[in-house]
Structure 1
Amino acid sequence: MFCVFLLLFTLTGRFPGAYSFQETRGVHDSMITKVMPKTMKAVGLYKYLPIAETESLLNLEVPIPTLRSTDLLVEVKATAVNPIDTKQRAPKPVPPAQQFEQFPRILGWDGAGIIASKGENTKYFNVGDEVFFTADLRRNGSNAQYVAIDEVMVGVKPKNFTFEQAAAMPLTTVTAYESLYDRLLLSENDKGKTLLIINSGGGVGSVASQLAKNLGLKVIGTAARPETEAFSLQHGVDIVLNHTKDLLPQLEAHGYGNGVEFILVNYDPYPYWNTIMAAAKPQGRICLIVDSSGLVDIRQLKDKSLTLVSEMMATRIKYDTEDKNRYHEIFEDVTRMFEAGVLKSTLTKTMSPINAENLREAHRLLEEKKVIGKIVLSGF
């Protein structure tokens, strides 16, 4: 065996698996990296189609992503599927000519893997680190063997998590964290106050409930099925209301007729608007993470001096804000929480391998609203 290694060293100048200096395409700096293939497997699309169409998601062979100076190149071990993936893939309300892409669109903005290479201006990670990440919707995503991501959108994978458990968490966790800490401005000083989470059985709701419980808040959730009610209770919710019925008498029956201090709306706010206005205590705060399907009367906010805020994960990276490193701080904090057991993964279903057939099935399940928790695909 040693002779084989020695022969390879003589012929190539390095031992198998060793790292070498290699210039990444499109970047004028050298970096330590494994010798990379020129192409990779991926699942993507050229046409925006219903998921029943076989061309809605295709198995592809595409070039390895080009790195920017603050990017990491992550070898993907697992990728999660979210409702945003199905919305990005679905047919668009545009002319037929705009339903096509010249280059393949690769979805997936939640994943975990190992850093294979990095740009010259990166400072937080090293090649070989195990990480989890949420990617940039404007770029190709994690339904591929490799993905290029700005390092602020990356965190150290919790040591007690598998790649699959870790891949399930970044997008929903960062969204929930920003909603509670950065938008609703919750802190340990709010211990004993009440947070109402509309749709607490969803991805963001099931993380937000854990975060709020950790701060000492009373958490009231809403669900419609026995399975989602049970899932909510397993993830920190104290009381579950039925959101197919009027929430106000249910709140009153549980002793909250005077309202709640905080409300997180993980669903279309339009059908709930008057209920939200009535349920919020004077000077309360409300956070929306979903677009309203209709116009709402914001004049109702004034009487109680209510604060209305919105959360869109990746605003800071999209607009290159001065505080975009906040993402890195969030990842550091939630990794500690995962490792301490304060937060737990919401992974409920794993599929393998990562291919078009399995991703189409995952999209179908999400669109049919048959999913509780997160679906993750692993391995190529």
Structure 2
Amino acid sequence: MKAIGFKQHLDIKNPSSLIDFETKRPKPNGHDLLVRVKSVSVNPVDIGVRKNGNGVLKQPKIIGWDAYGVVEEIGPQVTLFSSGDRVFYAGSFIRSGSDSEYQLVDERIVGNAPKNLTDDEIAAMPLTSLTAYEGLFEQMKLTFNKSKNKGKTILIINGAGGVGSVATQLANLAGFTVISTASRSESIKWTKDHGAKYVVNHRHDLVKEVRNLGFKYVDYIFELNDLDGHWKEMCELIRPEGHIVSITENRRPINLRLLTKKKAHFSWEWMYSKSYYHTQDMISQHNILNKISTMLDLGELQSTLTKSLSPLTSRNLRKAHKLVESGHMIGKVTVSNWQ
């Protein structure tokens, strides 16, 4: 089968940073689905794994953590899907990625694809939807109860990014007053169009920005970019007994004592945890993706696709990586159709 990967951690401008190659088509075992990949999306995690490391690998590493495709074969323990089913998923951090013609993925982290969207619109959604949903409804323990949530506020830092574009929609649908951060005119418009009632500039003092809106504290904070840079601001803005969730890692120690008097909560969200450790609730990702699929088909949730490239070659995948790596990407970019 055709695949795209890397053997060296190179600058994306280098043609060898991602290369086309041929490899053996895998066989499904256990709960595995063998999926014929139609379209993939690029996320910041792709950039991090490709760039960070040393040395030369013996075999090219296939990355990619977003895909839409069709089930080609199933393993002997599969019960949720059949050959020919249309599926979407974000995959696992410890298995070969989606940048290949065929990919093995555990059925318990796979959803039934939406029926009313294009291939690319579907491929743009799995990782960001899972991250946003888990962060909001598992870590923060929010609910879709508009009457209960009326008047409650959530600050979403980096609302125009991939995860933020979904999180703003979900939080708005759940009845929260969404305060999003953005700094450019196009990203401000984008996040307002996706559910933010207010927008503040994360390049300025967030405490002043939010309080200028009339809010002394916010009930929840979803941190999606630069934990170190915003930590003190978040600790000041979070209400007593409020909850902060972060998807980005700190590069220096964070002072949890700043939350002590408020008895506030802090937790991490890492979408890969369930498949990485094969947790007992791993099948929840199947259920979440099916919910997202239904919401997309009903038009309650909008795909965050903004850029599509074709065909699916190393050249176009490098273009997609470059877009995401620029830090100015709004929404999601996909690459589709194997040549």
Matching residue of 1:83: 44
- Taking the aligned partners of 1:74 and 1:320, their CA distance within structure 2 comes to 20
| Contact kept? 1:268, 1:293, Cα under 8 Å | no
1:197 corresponds in structure 2 to: 156
Rounded Cα–Cα distance in structure 2 between residues aligned with 1:185 and 1:91:
34
Q: Which residue of 2 aligns with 1:149?
A: 105
Deviation of 1:66 after TM superposition, in Å, equals 3.1
Alignment match, 2:86: 130
Q: Are the structure 2 counterparts of residues 291 and 130 from structure 1 closer, same or farther at C-alpha, using a change threshold of 3 Å? A: same
Asked whether 1:119 is paired with 2:75, we answer: yes
The residue aligned with 2:294 is 336
**Correspondences of 1:214-363 after superposition (within 5 Å):** 214-257=173-216, 259-363=217-321
* SS of match in other structure, 1:313: coil
Shift of 1:296: 1.4
Q: Which has the higher contact order (CA 8 A, sep 6+)?
A: 2
CA separation in 2, counterparts of 1:282 and 1:129? 47
Q: Secondary structure at the match of 1:299?
A: helix
Residue identity in the other structure for 1:55: S
In the alignment, structure 1 segments of 5+ residues that lack a partner are 1-39
Letter aligned with residue 184 of structure 2: R
Indicate whether 1:59 and 2:59 are aligned. Answer: no
Which residue identity does 2:102 align to in structure 1? Y
User: Which of 170, 178, 187 is residue 211 of structure 1 equivalent to?
Assistant: 170
Aligned to 2:8: 47
- Greater Cα shift, 71-80 or 332-341: 332-341
Deviations 1:182-229 (A, max 9, x none): 001111133331000011111101100100011100000001111111
Q: Say which SS state the counterpart of residue 221 (structure 1) adopts.
A: strand
Question: What is the CA-CA distance between 1:103 and the residue it aligns to?
Answer: 1.9
The answer to whether the Cα contact below 8 Å between 1:351 and 1:376 also exists between their aligned partners in 2 is yes
User: Structure 2 residue aligned with 1:164, among 120, 126, 129?
Assistant: 120
Q: For residues 310 and 238 of structure 1, what CA distance do their matches in structure 2 show?
A: 25
Structure 2 residue 186 is matched with structure 1 residue 186? no
In structure 2, C-alpha distance between the alignment counterparts of 1:361 and 1:333, rounded to whole Å = 31
Aligned residue pairs total 335
Deviates more, 1:124-133 or 1:48-57: 48-57
Q: How far is 1:371 from its partner? A: 1.6
Q: Which residue pairs with 1:28 in the alignment?
A: none
Give the residue type in structure 2 aligned to 1:352.
Answer: S
- SS, match of residue 256 in structure 2: coil
Letter in 2 for 1:84: V
How far has the Cα of 1:361 moved from its partner?
1.2
- Note the residue ranges of structure 2 that are not aligned, 5 or more in a row: none
Residue identity in the other structure for 2:103 = V
CA distance in 1, matches of 2:227, 2:327: 18
CA shift, 1:111, in A, is: 0.8
For the residue of structure 2 that corresponds to 1:304, the secondary structure is coil
Q: Is the 8 A contact 1:50 1:91 kept in 2?
A: no
Distance 2:96 2:2 in 1: 13
Structure 1: distance between partners of 2:207 and 2:316: 42
The aligned amino acid for 1:360 is R
- 1:368, distance to aligned residue in structure 2 (A): 1.5
CA distance in structure 2 between the aligned counterparts of 1:56 and 1:226, rounded to whole angstroms: 33
Q: CA deviation at 1:346?
A: 0.3
Is contact 2:68–2:87 with CA below 8 Å preserved after alignment? yes
Q: Which residue of 1 aligns with 2:322?
A: 364
Assess if the C-alpha contact under 8 Å between 1:111 and 1:133 holds in 2.
Answer: yes
- CA shift digits 1:40-75 (9 cap, x unpaired): 111111112111221111011111123231010110
TM-score w.r.t. the length of structure 2 is 0.97
Identical aligned residues as a percent: 39
How far off is 1:91 after superposition?
Answer: 3.8
1:252: how far off? Answer: 1.5
**Structure 2 counterpart SS, 1:255:** coil
Q: 1:72 aligns with which of 20, 23, 33?
A: 33
| Secondary structure at the counterpart of residue 96 of structure 2 | coil
Instruction: Work out the CA distance in 2 between the residues paired with 1:142 and 1:295.
Output: 34
Contact 1:109 1:141 in 2 (8 A): yes
User: What is the TM-score normalised by the length of structure 1?
Assistant: 0.86
Aligned-partner residue type, residue 212 of structure 1: A
